Amino acid sequence: MGRAFFMIVVIAACNSGDFDPVSKLTSVRVLATIADEPFAKPGDTVTVEALAVDARADRTRAMHVYWLPWVCNNPRADLYYACFAQLGAQLAHLGELKQKGLPLPPDTPPALLCLGLASLGQTKDVTACLQEGSKFTINVPANAVTSHPIVEGAAAPYGLSIGFYIACTGGVRLLPVDPTNVSGQTLPLGCFDDSGAQLGPEDYVFGFTRVYAYDDITNNNPVIDRVTFDGKPIVPSQGVIVPRCTSKNESDCEHVVDVQVPDSSWELVAGNSDSDTATHHEEIWAAYFHTIDKTKSAGRILFDPSAGRVDGSANRFIAPSVAGNGVVWIVVHDNRDGAAWTSFPVYVQ
C-alpha cells in the first residue's frame, strides 16, 4: 500500500511546474530497499539491501550507508516512529547498566552498547557504532506473529520487523529522542560535517525498511528479464549511446525504454477467491530515476491486479541538448513489498 502511494506521488510530481521531478536525481537518495524474503516466516534470517545513490555535483565528502545495529519488532500500531522512544529507552538503560558496572542483558551486541554509552553523552560521533554497507540482516523473532496484536481486516495474523538506515556524507551523531513526541519528526540519527554542523537533506537520507512475517503467506520479488532501448535489448553494464537533442520539439528526442517482467512474477494474493478478479493478483509497476535529463513518466504500470499485463507500459527517455554522461535506474515493485532493480549508463554525444 505504501509503495503504491509512493508511485502515485512520484508520477504526480512530474507535472509540478518548473521544479525537477522527484525522478531526477541531484542529491543523496535511497531509491528502494529489497529483502531476500519480502514476506518472512517467524524465526527466519532476512537480508535487506538499500539502493543508495549519490547524485551530488560535489562529492568531496563520500557517501556511506549505515544501519542501526538494532531491529524494532511490532511497534505500537505498526508505526515506524513509535520505534524511536523504544530505542531511546533501551539505549539509556544499557548505558546506565554499563556505567554502574551492572550485568548487561545476555547477548547484548557491542555496537548497541556503544550507542547506549553515546546516549549518556560520552561521545558525539557514533559512526563507529553503526553497521556500514548497503546490506543488513534482520533476525525475525520466533514469536513475531503471536506477539503482534490481531489486526481487523488483515489477510492473516502477521508480525513486523523494522530496520533503520542513514545514507550520510559525513559523520553520524545520535540525536536526543523525546519520548513524548509522537509526530515522527524527531529522528534518532543526524548527519554532520567535520566542523560539527548538521548537514541538510541534499547530503543525507534517513529511512527504514519493513519485513512482514506470516505463518503461511509467501511472496517472491519480481524478476527483471531484460531492459530494451528503442526496441532492442541492452547490456546494462554497457549502457546506451544517444545523440544530443538538437530539436525544439521534445518528441523528436525521445527514445523508448522498457523493462520486461515475466508473467510468473504476477503472483496470486493469498486470501482472495478466484471470483474476486479485481484483487486476486499483485499490482506491479516500474519507477524510473535518472541523473541526466528526463523520462516522460516517473512510473509505469506493468501488471494490473485484475487485467494482467498492461499494453503500452514503455517509458520515454528524452535526450538532453548538451553532451554528457548519466545513469538511469529502473526499480520494479509489487504491492506486497517485493522489489527488483537495474540500471544502465547513458552516453549523450
Query: What local confidence, expressed as pLDDT, does residue 155 receive?
Result: 85
- Provide the residue count of the chain: 349
Q: What is the pLDDT along the chain (349 residues), one digit of tens a residue?
A: 333 333 333 333 333 334 456 899 999 999 999 999 999 999 999 999 999 999 999 999 999 999 999 999 999 999 999 998 888 888 888 888 888 889 988 888 889 888 888 888 777 899 999 999 999 999 999 999 999 999 998 889 999 999 999 999 999 998 876 666 666 667 889 999 999 999 999 999 999 999 999 999 999 999 999 999 999 999 999 999 999 999 999 899 999 999 999 999 999 986 544 444 445 899 999 999 999 999 999 999 999 999 999 999 999 999 999 999 999 999 999 999 999 999 999 999 9
Q: What is the C-alpha separation between 226 and 260, in angstroms, rounded?
A: 5
The per-residue pLDDT for 180 is 64
Half-sphere exposure of 131 toward its Cβ, with a 13 Å CA cutoff? Answer: 20
Nearest to 51 by CA among 342, 264, 283: 342
Look at residue 117 in the predicted model and tell me its pLDDT. Answer: 86
**pLDDT in the model for residue 77:** 94
Torsion angle of alpha carbons 173, 178, 179, 183, nearest 10°? Answer: -100
So what's the pLDDT on residue 292? 94
Distance in angstroms (rounded) separating the CA atoms of residues 211 and 163: 8
State the cell numbers at 230: 528503442
DSSP label of 125? B
Tell me the C-alpha distance between 204 and 197, whole Å: 13
Q: Which whole-number Å values give the CA distances from 330 to 36, 82, 158, 247, 342, in the listed order?
A: 18, 32, 30, 27, 5
In our burial notation (b when 16+ CB lie closer than 10 A, e otherwise), range 273-299 reads eeeeeeebbbbbbbbbbbbbbbbbbbb
Q: What is the pTM of this model?
A: 0.88
Task: State the Cα angle at 338 between 336 and 342, rounded to 5°.
Answer: 150
pLDDT score of 9:
36
Residue 285 is placed in which grid cell? 509497476
Cβ within 8 Å of residue 249, ≥6 positions away:
none
**Backbone torsions φ then ψ of 344, nearest 5 degrees:** -155, 145
Please name each of the domains of the chain with its CATH number. Answer: 39-213 (no CATH), 226-348 (2.60.40)
**pLDDT of res. 177:** 67
